[in-house]
Amino acid sequence: MTNSETVNTTATPSYSFVHVENTGHSITPVVFNGNNYDEWSRSFHLALMAKGKLGYIDGTIFKPTATATNFETWQSTNALVTMWIFNTIAPTLRNQVSLRPEAKQVWMDIKNRFCQINEARIYQLQADLMACRQGPTETLVSYYGRMTAIWNGIMELDAIPSCSCSPCSCDWLNIINARREKKRVRDFLMGLDDRFATTRSHIIGITPLPSLDLIYNRLLQDEGVRNLSSTKVDTTPDAMSFAARVPHGSRHIDRGA
């Protein structure tokens, strides 16, 4: 390669368009039904981030001028992201969403209409957390999943403030995270069904309290042993079991019949 030859090392992946992408494809399994905005928006954000297209809804990718060389690529990708948004909306709700020229405009219309004000949403999530209890027949996996969804929602809306020292020397973030972990442990244990009462009492007596992951693992083992014990079958042979159920008088056969 001579000195006069130049290599273009400036890539523009944010404007790239992959032709194999399908406009009818749903990029997230979460379908927006009007009542699950938080869950849907988080899932959609992650899906777009994985595809390198998040900038089309967060405003970091700007619409180029009609004469720009990348305008056609932007236009195609913008239309693709818009269709992805519509494909993750429940059919009964699509007629309420305006079809705007830019994906960002469509996204903001949905956000402005369905995203609750933070304080009101935090209040609702806190109320849901206080009322969250494991059902008598509910598995730990289901109960823990419901709790985790509430915790994640609160953490997203009520972010931990950063410390004022730079660089940080107060260990603020670790201290706050440790307190949040303890609160989650208490929330989780308080909502457990009474069938875990013995194990819960043992855990509460441990100082310091184990991590939530360790507690969850311990309770899963407890649940597994309990389920195994309840599903054991009677090992009595069928013939003996049948004989035990037959009334005594019916064993005598009337040979004169």
Looking at the predicted structure, is the pLDDT value of residue 237 above 70? no
Looking at the predicted structure, is the pLDDT value of residue 10 above 50? no
Mean pLDDT for 25-49 is 87
Higher pLDDT, 153 or 198: 198
Mean pLDDT for 8-12 is 40
Tell me the DSSP string of 87-135: HTB-GGGGGGS---SSHHHHHHHHHHHHPPPHHHHHHHHHHHHHH----
pLDDT the model gives residue 148: 94
Looking at the predicted structure, is the pLDDT value of residue 118 above 80? no
pLDDT the model gives residue 24: 60
Q: Report residue 62 as tokens.
A: 């700007």
- Please give the Cα distance from 209 to 182 (Å, whole number): 8
Looking at the predicted structure, is the pLDDT value of residue 241 above 80? no
The 10s digit of each residue's pLDDT in 158-198 is 766 666 676 767 777 788 889 999 999 999 999 999 999 99
- Please give the Cα distance from 135 to 139 (Å, whole number): 8
Mean pLDDT for 120-131 is 91
Contact yes or no for 40/32 (Cβ under 8 A): yes
pLDDT the model gives residue 255: 52
User: In terms of Cα–Cα distance, which of 230, 142, 151 is closest to 193?
Assistant: 142
User: In terms of Cα–Cα distance, which of 106, 111, 105 is closest to 42?
Assistant: 111
- Please give the Cα distance from 39 to 189 (Å, whole number): 25
Q: Report residue 17 as tokens.
A: 């368009």
Mean pLDDT for 232-249 is 53
Assign residue 149 a region: left if phi > 0, alpha if psi is -120 to 50, beta otherwise? alpha
pTM of the model: 0.57
Inter-CA distances, 157 with 125, 150, 208, Å: 10, 11, 29
pLDDT the model gives residue 80: 92
Assign residue 188 a region: left if phi > 0, alpha if psi is -120 to 50, beta otherwise? alpha
SS3 257: coil
Mean pLDDT for 231-246 is 54
- Please give the Cα distance from 15 to 78 (Å, whole number): 9
The 10s digit of each residue's pLDDT in 59-111 is 888 899 999 999 999 999 999 999 999 999 999 888 888 778 899 999 999 98
